[in-house]
Amino acid sequence: MANTTATPNQSQPDPGSYAVAHIRIYPHNNPNFPKTSAEYVEIKNIVIQIVISESIYQSSVVTELHIVDSTSLVETFRLGGGEKVELSIFQDVLLLPLFNTWGKTEFTYECYVSDIIDYNKANIGTQSYRIRCVSKHAYLNQLKTLNESFDAATEELVANIASSHLSIDGDFGSGGGKMKGIYPNLHPLDAINWIARNSFNNGSPYFFWEQSKTICSEESLQRKKNIKFYSYEEMCNQTPIMELNNSPFLKEKSRLDPTYYKSLVEKIKHVESSLNISKFNDARRGAYASTLEYVDIATKTHKQKEYKYGDNINKLNEFKPFSDNIKFNDIKLSEYTKAKEYYTSKNSRAFGDSPNYHENELDNLQESMTHLSNLEFLAHRLELHGNPWMTAGAVVNLKMWKSIDPELLDGSGDSLVDKYMSGNYLIKSAHHVFSGKEYHTVIDVIRDSQELDFDEEIKV
Protein backbone atom coordinates (compact mmCIF):
# COMPACT_ATOMS: atom_id res chain seq x y z
CA MET A 1 0.00 0.00 0.00
CA ALA A 2 1.22 3.49 -0.79
CA ASN A 3 0.13 6.94 -1.81
CA THR A 4 3.20 8.48 -3.37
CA THR A 5 2.66 11.72 -5.26
CA ALA A 6 5.11 14.24 -6.67
CA THR A 7 8.77 14.54 -5.71
CA PRO A 8 10.54 17.74 -4.63
CA ASN A 9 12.23 17.98 -8.05
CA GLN A 10 8.85 18.25 -9.81
CA SER A 11 6.58 19.98 -7.31
CA GLN A 12 6.02 19.81 -3.60
CA PRO A 13 4.62 16.55 -2.18
CA ASP A 14 1.34 16.69 -0.37
CA PRO A 15 1.63 16.02 3.40
CA GLY A 16 -0.78 13.14 2.83
CA SER A 17 1.62 11.29 0.54
CA TYR A 18 3.72 8.38 1.81
CA ALA A 19 5.33 5.10 0.76
CA VAL A 20 5.37 1.80 2.64
CA ALA A 21 8.79 0.18 2.38
CA HIS A 22 7.73 -3.08 4.03
CA ILE A 23 5.37 -4.73 6.49
CA ARG A 24 6.88 -8.05 7.57
CA ILE A 25 5.47 -10.66 9.88
CA TYR A 26 7.65 -13.44 11.31
CA PRO A 27 5.69 -16.68 11.94
CA HIS A 28 6.83 -18.82 14.88
CA ASN A 29 7.28 -21.98 12.84
CA ASN A 30 9.81 -20.51 10.36
CA PRO A 31 7.98 -22.07 7.39
CA ASN A 32 9.68 -23.60 4.41
CA PHE A 33 8.68 -21.15 1.73
CA PRO A 34 8.41 -22.57 -1.77
CA LYS A 35 10.32 -19.72 -3.43
CA THR A 36 12.46 -18.20 -0.68
CA SER A 37 14.18 -19.16 2.55
CA ALA A 38 13.27 -15.82 4.23
CA GLU A 39 12.01 -16.04 7.78
CA TYR A 40 9.30 -13.44 7.24
CA VAL A 41 6.18 -12.93 5.15
CA GLU A 42 5.75 -9.61 3.31
CA ILE A 43 2.13 -8.52 3.82
CA LYS A 44 2.09 -4.87 2.68
CA ASN A 45 -0.04 -5.74 -0.37
CA ILE A 46 -2.93 -7.02 1.78
CA VAL A 47 -2.85 -4.26 4.40
CA ILE A 48 -5.39 -1.54 3.56
CA GLN A 49 -4.88 0.64 6.63
CA ILE A 50 -2.24 1.23 9.30
CA VAL A 51 -2.98 3.12 12.53
CA ILE A 52 -0.09 3.97 14.90
CA SER A 53 -1.33 5.30 18.26
CA GLU A 54 0.48 6.78 21.26
CA SER A 55 -0.67 8.51 24.44
CA ILE A 56 0.80 9.98 27.63
CA TYR A 57 -1.43 7.46 29.45
CA GLN A 58 -0.14 4.52 27.38
CA SER A 59 3.13 2.73 28.15
CA SER A 60 3.37 1.20 24.68
CA VAL A 61 2.72 2.40 21.15
CA VAL A 62 -0.16 0.39 19.67
CA THR A 63 -0.27 -0.41 15.95
CA GLU A 64 -3.29 -1.81 14.13
CA LEU A 65 -3.07 -3.38 10.67
CA HIS A 66 -6.38 -3.71 8.81
CA ILE A 67 -6.02 -6.68 6.49
CA VAL A 68 -8.15 -7.92 3.59
CA ASP A 69 -6.99 -11.49 3.08
CA SER A 70 -7.70 -13.93 0.27
CA THR A 71 -4.71 -16.17 1.01
CA SER A 72 -5.70 -17.64 4.40
CA LEU A 73 -2.72 -15.97 6.06
CA VAL A 74 -3.83 -16.82 9.62
CA GLU A 75 -4.26 -20.52 8.84
CA THR A 76 -1.26 -20.94 6.56
CA PHE A 77 1.24 -19.47 9.00
CA ARG A 78 -0.52 -20.52 12.22
CA LEU A 79 -0.82 -16.95 13.53
CA GLY A 80 -1.75 -17.14 17.19
CA GLY A 81 -0.16 -14.09 18.84
CA GLY A 82 3.38 -13.07 19.77
CA GLU A 83 4.66 -12.94 16.18
CA LYS A 84 7.16 -10.17 15.43
CA VAL A 85 6.06 -7.49 12.96
CA GLU A 86 8.35 -4.95 11.30
CA LEU A 87 7.07 -1.96 9.40
CA SER A 88 8.70 0.98 7.66
CA ILE A 89 6.89 3.98 6.16
CA PHE A 90 8.66 6.86 4.38
CA GLN A 91 7.58 10.43 3.71
CA ASP A 92 9.15 13.49 2.08
CA VAL A 93 8.89 16.47 4.45
CA LEU A 94 10.05 20.02 4.99
CA LEU A 95 12.13 19.99 8.15
CA LEU A 96 11.37 21.89 11.34
CA PRO A 97 11.62 24.57 12.55
CA LEU A 98 11.82 26.79 9.44
CA PHE A 99 10.26 24.49 6.80
CA ASN A 100 12.98 25.52 4.34
CA THR A 101 14.90 22.26 3.81
CA TRP A 102 13.62 19.03 2.29
CA GLY A 103 14.28 15.74 4.06
CA LYS A 104 12.80 12.33 4.76
CA THR A 105 11.14 10.84 7.80
CA GLU A 106 10.59 7.15 8.43
CA PHE A 107 8.18 5.53 10.84
CA THR A 108 10.12 2.41 11.76
CA TYR A 109 8.69 0.03 14.31
CA GLU A 110 9.26 -3.47 15.62
CA CYS A 111 6.21 -4.77 17.43
CA TYR A 112 4.52 -8.03 18.40
CA VAL A 113 1.03 -9.34 17.72
CA SER A 114 -1.15 -8.98 20.83
CA ASP A 115 -4.62 -9.52 19.36
CA ILE A 116 -6.38 -10.48 16.14
CA ILE A 117 -9.78 -8.76 16.20
CA ASP A 118 -12.81 -7.64 14.15
CA TYR A 119 -12.92 -10.74 11.95
CA ASN A 120 -15.36 -10.54 9.05
CA LYS A 121 -15.92 -12.89 6.12
CA ALA A 122 -17.68 -10.81 3.46
CA ASN A 123 -17.72 -13.63 0.91
CA ILE A 124 -16.30 -17.09 0.35
CA GLY A 125 -13.06 -15.80 -1.12
CA THR A 126 -12.20 -12.90 1.21
CA GLN A 127 -11.86 -12.30 4.92
CA SER A 128 -10.89 -9.18 6.81
CA TYR A 129 -9.53 -8.62 10.31
CA ARG A 130 -7.28 -6.35 12.31
CA ILE A 131 -3.93 -7.35 13.76
CA ARG A 132 -3.14 -5.31 16.88
CA CYS A 133 0.51 -5.06 17.89
CA VAL A 134 2.39 -3.70 20.91
CA SER A 135 6.03 -3.02 21.69
CA LYS A 136 8.32 -5.80 22.90
CA HIS A 137 8.59 -4.36 26.40
CA ALA A 138 4.79 -4.56 26.76
CA TYR A 139 5.00 -8.30 26.11
CA LEU A 140 7.93 -8.73 28.51
CA ASN A 141 5.85 -6.91 31.13
CA GLN A 142 3.23 -9.67 31.04
CA LEU A 143 5.81 -12.37 31.78
CA LYS A 144 7.34 -11.25 35.09
CA THR A 145 6.57 -9.62 38.44
CA LEU A 146 8.74 -7.67 40.88
CA ASN A 147 8.97 -8.30 44.62
CA GLU A 148 12.44 -6.88 45.30
CA SER A 149 13.54 -4.01 47.51
CA PHE A 150 14.37 -0.54 46.17
CA ASP A 151 16.11 2.58 47.50
CA ALA A 152 16.93 5.42 45.09
CA ALA A 153 15.66 8.54 43.35
CA THR A 154 12.47 7.84 41.43
CA GLU A 155 14.00 8.46 38.01
CA GLU A 156 16.75 5.95 38.86
CA LEU A 157 14.16 3.39 39.95
CA VAL A 158 12.25 3.79 36.68
CA ALA A 159 15.46 3.60 34.62
CA ASN A 160 16.51 0.43 36.47
CA ILE A 161 13.17 -1.32 35.89
CA ALA A 162 13.20 -0.26 32.24
CA SER A 163 16.71 -1.55 31.54
CA SER A 164 16.85 -4.61 33.83
CA HIS A 165 13.36 -6.01 33.32
CA LEU A 166 12.08 -4.53 30.06
CA SER A 167 15.33 -4.12 28.05
CA ILE A 168 14.58 -0.51 27.10
CA ASP A 169 16.27 2.86 27.47
CA GLY A 170 14.71 6.31 27.55
CA ASP A 171 14.55 9.87 28.89
CA PHE A 172 13.69 9.67 32.57
CA GLY A 173 13.55 13.30 33.69
CA SER A 174 14.70 14.44 37.12
CA GLY A 175 13.52 15.82 40.45
CA GLY A 176 10.97 13.19 41.45
CA GLY A 177 12.30 12.67 44.98
CA LYS A 178 13.66 9.56 46.72
CA MET A 179 11.87 6.56 48.15
CA LYS A 180 12.61 3.20 49.73
CA GLY A 181 10.50 0.06 49.98
CA ILE A 182 9.61 -3.27 48.40
CA TYR A 183 7.72 -3.79 45.16
CA PRO A 184 4.55 -5.68 46.16
CA ASN A 185 4.45 -8.32 43.37
CA LEU A 186 3.82 -5.91 40.55
CA HIS A 187 4.42 -6.32 36.84
CA PRO A 188 7.25 -3.97 35.73
CA LEU A 189 5.02 -1.39 34.04
CA ASP A 190 2.63 -1.48 36.99
CA ALA A 191 5.62 -0.90 39.28
CA ILE A 192 6.68 2.12 37.20
CA ASN A 193 3.18 3.59 37.37
CA TRP A 194 3.08 2.84 41.11
CA ILE A 195 6.32 4.81 41.54
CA ALA A 196 5.00 7.60 39.32
CA ARG A 197 1.90 7.92 41.50
CA ASN A 198 4.04 9.21 44.41
CA SER A 199 6.70 11.00 42.36
CA PHE A 200 6.47 14.79 42.27
CA ASN A 201 8.45 17.64 40.78
CA ASN A 202 7.53 20.84 42.63
CA GLY A 203 4.04 19.47 43.09
CA SER A 204 3.56 18.28 39.50
CA PRO A 205 2.81 14.60 38.70
CA TYR A 206 4.83 12.25 36.49
CA PHE A 207 3.85 10.37 33.32
CA PHE A 208 5.40 7.30 31.69
CA TRP A 209 4.72 6.67 28.01
CA GLU A 210 6.18 5.61 24.66
CA GLN A 211 6.36 7.82 21.59
CA SER A 212 6.38 6.41 18.06
CA LYS A 213 9.91 6.07 16.73
CA THR A 214 10.69 8.41 13.84
CA ILE A 215 13.96 8.36 11.92
CA CYS A 216 14.78 11.62 10.14
CA SER A 217 17.40 12.55 7.55
CA GLU A 218 18.25 15.46 9.88
CA GLU A 219 19.83 13.74 12.90
CA SER A 220 18.93 16.52 15.36
CA LEU A 221 15.21 15.90 14.67
CA GLN A 222 15.30 12.16 15.35
CA ARG A 223 13.44 10.76 18.36
CA LYS A 224 16.21 8.43 19.52
CA LYS A 225 14.86 7.74 23.01
CA ASN A 226 11.14 7.30 22.63
CA ILE A 227 10.44 6.03 26.19
CA LYS A 228 9.59 9.02 28.41
CA PHE A 229 9.28 9.56 32.17
CA TYR A 230 8.61 13.27 32.59
CA SER A 231 6.94 15.49 35.13
CA TYR A 232 4.08 17.71 34.08
CA GLU A 233 6.26 20.72 34.93
CA GLU A 234 8.89 19.57 32.43
CA MET A 235 6.19 19.08 29.80
CA CYS A 236 4.69 22.55 30.44
CA ASN A 237 8.08 24.21 30.04
CA GLN A 238 8.55 22.89 26.49
CA THR A 239 8.56 25.27 23.53
CA PRO A 240 5.60 24.52 21.20
CA ILE A 241 6.80 22.40 18.29
CA MET A 242 4.37 24.01 15.83
CA GLU A 243 1.52 26.50 15.46
CA LEU A 244 -1.67 24.95 14.09
CA ASN A 245 -4.61 26.96 12.75
CA ASN A 246 -8.09 26.59 11.28
CA SER A 247 -7.86 29.76 9.23
CA PRO A 248 -10.45 29.89 6.41
CA PHE A 249 -7.83 31.52 4.19
CA LEU A 250 -5.47 29.23 2.28
CA LYS A 251 -4.06 31.35 -0.52
CA GLU A 252 -1.02 29.18 -1.30
CA LYS A 253 -2.75 26.58 -3.50
CA SER A 254 -0.08 25.84 -6.10
CA ARG A 255 2.30 22.94 -5.46
CA LEU A 256 5.02 25.16 -6.90
CA ASP A 257 4.47 27.77 -4.22
CA PRO A 258 7.30 27.45 -1.62
CA THR A 259 4.77 27.86 1.24
CA TYR A 260 2.38 25.19 -0.07
CA TYR A 261 3.60 22.34 2.17
CA LYS A 262 3.91 24.50 5.31
CA SER A 263 0.38 25.88 4.86
CA LEU A 264 -1.12 22.40 4.63
CA VAL A 265 0.86 20.80 7.46
CA GLU A 266 -0.19 23.59 9.85
CA LYS A 267 -3.83 23.46 8.76
CA ILE A 268 -6.50 21.96 11.05
CA LYS A 269 -8.92 20.08 8.77
CA HIS A 270 -11.55 19.34 11.39
CA VAL A 271 -12.20 20.09 15.07
CA GLU A 272 -14.27 18.12 17.55
CA SER A 273 -14.39 19.29 21.14
CA SER A 274 -15.82 17.82 24.30
CA LEU A 275 -14.64 21.09 25.94
CA ASN A 276 -14.91 19.53 29.44
CA ILE A 277 -15.64 22.95 30.95
CA SER A 278 -17.32 22.05 34.24
CA LYS A 279 -16.65 23.78 37.53
CA PHE A 280 -19.46 21.63 38.93
CA ASN A 281 -17.48 18.41 38.41
CA ASP A 282 -13.95 19.75 38.84
CA ALA A 283 -14.57 21.33 42.25
CA ARG A 284 -15.30 17.99 43.95
CA ARG A 285 -12.07 16.51 42.53
CA GLY A 286 -9.90 19.07 44.33
CA ALA A 287 -9.23 21.25 41.29
CA TYR A 288 -9.35 24.50 43.27
CA ALA A 289 -8.91 23.64 46.95
CA SER A 290 -8.57 20.62 49.23
CA THR A 291 -7.61 19.35 52.69
CA LEU A 292 -5.06 16.63 53.52
CA GLU A 293 -5.28 14.58 56.73
CA TYR A 294 -1.86 13.08 57.41
CA VAL A 295 -0.96 10.53 60.10
CA ASP A 296 2.52 9.33 61.08
CA ILE A 297 2.04 5.87 62.58
CA ALA A 298 5.52 5.81 64.15
CA THR A 299 5.28 9.07 66.06
CA LYS A 300 1.49 8.98 66.57
CA THR A 301 1.20 12.50 65.14
CA HIS A 302 -1.49 14.01 62.96
CA LYS A 303 -1.26 16.94 60.54
CA GLN A 304 -3.91 18.76 58.61
CA LYS A 305 -2.94 20.77 55.55
CA GLU A 306 -5.17 23.06 53.50
CA TYR A 307 -4.37 23.75 49.86
CA LYS A 308 -5.67 26.60 47.70
CA TYR A 309 -5.04 27.14 44.00
CA GLY A 310 -2.27 29.74 43.69
CA ASP A 311 -1.10 32.02 40.89
CA ASN A 312 2.39 30.49 41.01
CA ILE A 313 1.23 27.03 39.93
CA ASN A 314 2.98 25.81 36.78
CA LYS A 315 0.62 25.77 33.79
CA LEU A 316 0.56 25.84 29.99
CA ASN A 317 -0.87 29.35 29.62
CA GLU A 318 -0.81 32.56 31.63
CA PHE A 319 -4.18 32.57 33.37
CA LYS A 320 -5.96 30.11 35.64
CA PRO A 321 -9.02 28.20 34.34
CA PHE A 322 -11.60 29.82 36.63
CA SER A 323 -12.64 33.18 38.00
CA ASP A 324 -12.37 34.37 41.58
CA ASN A 325 -15.66 36.12 40.92
CA ILE A 326 -17.44 32.77 41.11
CA LYS A 327 -18.75 32.72 44.66
CA PHE A 328 -21.25 30.66 46.60
CA ASN A 329 -22.36 32.11 49.92
CA ASP A 330 -19.78 34.85 49.25
CA ILE A 331 -16.93 32.30 49.29
CA LYS A 332 -14.59 31.83 46.30
CA LEU A 333 -14.01 28.39 44.77
CA SER A 334 -10.41 28.37 45.99
CA GLU A 335 -11.58 28.93 49.58
CA TYR A 336 -13.68 25.75 49.76
CA THR A 337 -10.91 23.56 51.18
CA LYS A 338 -13.40 20.87 52.22
CA ALA A 339 -14.50 20.32 48.61
CA LYS A 340 -12.05 17.39 48.53
CA GLU A 341 -10.34 15.60 51.42
CA TYR A 342 -7.34 13.29 51.13
CA TYR A 343 -6.17 10.84 53.78
CA THR A 344 -2.68 9.40 53.89
CA SER A 345 -0.35 7.78 56.41
CA LYS A 346 3.28 6.80 56.69
CA ASN A 347 5.69 5.11 59.06
CA SER A 348 8.57 7.58 59.36
CA ARG A 349 10.76 5.05 61.21
CA ALA A 350 10.26 2.15 58.85
CA PHE A 351 13.70 2.63 57.25
CA GLY A 352 15.52 4.87 59.73
CA ASP A 353 16.38 8.15 58.04
CA SER A 354 15.58 6.89 54.52
CA PRO A 355 12.39 8.27 52.91
CA ASN A 356 9.69 5.67 52.33
CA TYR A 357 7.08 5.42 49.58
CA HIS A 358 4.72 7.98 51.15
CA GLU A 359 7.42 10.52 52.09
CA ASN A 360 6.60 13.10 49.41
CA GLU A 361 2.82 13.17 49.78
CA LEU A 362 2.52 15.80 52.52
CA ASP A 363 4.13 18.57 50.47
CA ASN A 364 3.03 17.56 46.99
CA LEU A 365 -0.12 15.42 46.78
CA GLN A 366 -2.71 18.20 46.75
CA GLU A 367 -1.02 20.33 44.11
CA SER A 368 -0.43 17.23 42.00
CA MET A 369 -4.12 16.34 42.13
CA THR A 370 -4.97 19.94 41.22
CA HIS A 371 -2.84 19.55 38.08
CA LEU A 372 -4.57 16.28 37.17
CA SER A 373 -8.05 17.65 37.89
CA ASN A 374 -7.50 20.71 35.68
CA LEU A 375 -5.46 18.99 32.99
CA GLU A 376 -8.43 18.52 30.65
CA PHE A 377 -10.13 21.81 31.46
CA LEU A 378 -10.34 22.31 27.69
CA ALA A 379 -9.97 19.46 25.18
CA HIS A 380 -10.10 19.17 21.39
CA ARG A 381 -9.73 16.37 18.84
CA LEU A 382 -8.02 17.73 15.74
CA GLU A 383 -7.72 16.10 12.32
CA LEU A 384 -4.62 17.24 10.41
CA HIS A 385 -2.88 16.47 7.18
CA GLY A 386 -0.14 13.88 7.63
CA ASN A 387 2.20 15.29 10.28
CA PRO A 388 4.99 13.06 11.63
CA TRP A 389 6.04 15.74 14.14
CA MET A 390 2.88 15.30 16.21
CA THR A 391 3.74 13.09 19.17
CA ALA A 392 2.24 12.50 22.62
CA GLY A 393 3.73 14.73 25.31
CA ALA A 394 4.67 17.58 22.96
CA VAL A 395 3.17 21.08 23.16
CA VAL A 396 1.46 22.82 20.23
CA ASN A 397 0.09 26.33 19.90
CA LEU A 398 -3.40 26.66 18.39
CA LYS A 399 -4.68 29.73 16.60
CA MET A 400 -8.43 29.20 16.37
CA TRP A 401 -10.51 31.65 14.36
CA LYS A 402 -13.69 33.19 15.68
CA SER A 403 -16.97 31.58 14.71
CA ILE A 404 -18.50 34.34 12.63
CA ASP A 405 -19.60 34.63 9.02
CA PRO A 406 -16.46 34.07 6.86
CA GLU A 407 -17.56 36.93 4.61
CA LEU A 408 -17.02 39.27 7.53
CA LEU A 409 -13.39 38.16 7.93
CA ASP A 410 -10.65 39.93 6.05
CA GLY A 411 -7.90 37.47 6.99
CA SER A 412 -5.81 39.82 9.10
CA GLY A 413 -5.45 40.93 12.69
CA ASP A 414 -5.38 39.27 16.07
CA SER A 415 -8.96 40.47 16.60
CA LEU A 416 -10.10 37.56 14.41
CA VAL A 417 -8.54 34.96 16.72
CA ASP A 418 -10.73 33.21 19.29
CA LYS A 419 -8.58 33.69 22.37
CA TYR A 420 -10.81 31.42 24.45
CA MET A 421 -9.92 28.43 22.26
CA SER A 422 -6.41 29.50 21.22
CA GLY A 423 -3.15 29.08 23.10
CA ASN A 424 -0.80 26.30 24.18
CA TYR A 425 -2.06 22.72 24.43
CA LEU A 426 -0.45 19.44 25.44
CA ILE A 427 -0.81 16.56 22.98
CA LYS A 428 -2.47 13.83 25.03
CA SER A 429 -2.53 11.29 22.20
CA ALA A 430 -1.58 11.08 18.53
CA HIS A 431 -2.90 8.68 15.90
CA HIS A 432 -1.06 8.37 12.58
CA VAL A 433 -3.44 6.86 10.01
CA PHE A 434 -2.15 5.50 6.69
CA SER A 435 -4.78 4.31 4.23
CA GLY A 436 -4.83 3.77 0.48
CA LYS A 437 -6.04 7.33 -0.03
CA GLU A 438 -3.84 9.40 2.25
CA TYR A 439 -1.87 9.78 5.45
CA HIS A 440 -3.58 11.93 8.06
CA THR A 441 -2.95 12.58 11.74
CA VAL A 442 -5.50 12.85 14.54
CA ILE A 443 -4.40 14.40 17.84
CA ASP A 444 -6.18 14.86 21.16
CA VAL A 445 -5.01 18.07 22.82
CA ILE A 446 -5.71 19.24 26.37
CA ARG A 447 -4.85 22.18 28.59
CA ASP A 448 -5.19 23.42 32.15
CA SER A 449 -5.27 27.20 31.71
CA GLN A 450 -6.31 30.13 29.55
CA GLU A 451 -4.94 33.00 27.49
CA LEU A 452 -7.92 35.04 28.70
CA ASP A 453 -8.09 36.44 32.23
CA PHE A 454 -11.41 35.29 33.68
CA ASP A 455 -11.12 37.96 36.38
CA GLU A 456 -10.79 40.80 33.87
CA GLU A 457 -13.77 43.13 33.51
CA ILE A 458 -15.68 42.38 30.29
CA LYS A 459 -16.14 45.26 27.87
CA VAL A 460 -19.15 44.84 25.57
pLDDT digits (tens, 9 = 90+) for 255-301: 666 677 888 899 999 999 878 788 899 999 999 999 999 999 999 99
User: Domain for residue 158, yes or no?
Assistant: no
User: Domain for residue 32, yes or no?
Assistant: no
Q: Are 41 and 25 within 8 A, CB to CB?
A: yes
Give the residues of the chain that fall short of pLDDT 70: 1-12, 30-38, 96-100, 217-224, 249-258, 405-415, 460
User: Domain for residue 409, yes or no?
Assistant: no
What pLDDT is attached to residue 411? 54
What torsion, rounded to 10 degrees, do the Cα atoms 336, 337, 340, 343 define? -170
* Domain span holding position 308: 279-374
- Residue 436 CA to residue 264 CA, distance in Å, equals 19
What pLDDT is attached to residue 14? 82
User: Domain for residue 78, yes or no?
Assistant: no
Q: ∠ CA(242), CA(267), CA(451), 5° rounding? A: 55
User: Domain for residue 316, yes or no?
Assistant: yes
Q: Would you give the distance in Å from CA 34 to the centre of its chain? A: 43
What pLDDT is attached to residue 333? 95
- Residue 171 CA to residue 104 CA, distance in Å, equals 24
Total domain count for the chain?
A: 1
User: Domain for residue 414, yes or no?
Assistant: no
User: Domain for residue 334, yes or no?
Assistant: yes
What pLDDT is attached to residue 173? 82
Whole-number CA gyration radius for the chain:
25
Q: Are strands 378-385 and 439-447 parallel, antiparallel or unpaired?
A: antiparallel
pLDDT digits (tens, 9 = 90+) for 154-166: 999 999 999 999 9
